[in-house]
Amino acid sequence: MKYNKKGGKVAINISEKNNKAAIDFIDTGIGISAEDQKKIFSKFFRVSNAALSQTDGTGLGLFVVKSYIEEQGGVVNFSSELGKGSVFHIELPAKKPSNKIII
């Protein structure tokens, strides 16, 4: 939300395919340059145009997300166009609910 344009939109699509939960986060934000895309999941990295949005951040958010998703056997990837927005895609193994009740 904080990297979106004034009046921009964010959509979240959730689906299941091939026994995996798929989540897409789609925004109409500032986008990510091709050069910054190479480093987007690096620890402490912030995209160069984030300063234009006057936002604070540590550069840990996407690093942490990717770490948690991969730890659970999932994948995260994205596509982005500078000035037009981004789509972040997450897939996680779908787990069937357990019938066990642990007290």
The fold of the 10-93 domain, in CATH, is Heat Shock Protein 90 (3.30.565)
Sequence ranges of the domains in the chain: 10-93
The model's pLDDT over 1-27, given as tens digits with 9 standing for 90+, comes to 777 788 899 999 999 988 899 999 999
The model's pLDDT over 37-69, given as tens digits with 9 standing for 90+, comes to 999 999 988 887 765 555 677 888 899 999 999
pLDDT of residue 101: 67
DSSP the chain: -TTSPTT--EEEEEEEETTEEEEEEEE-S----HHHHTTTTSTT---GGGGGGT----S-HHHHHHHHHHHTT-EEEEEEETTTEEEEEEEEE--PPP-----
pLDDT of residue 76: 97
The model's pLDDT over 71-99, given as tens digits with 9 standing for 90+, comes to 999 999 999 999 899 999 999 998 766 66
Question: pLDDT at residue 29 above 80?
Answer: yes
pLDDT of residue 3: 73
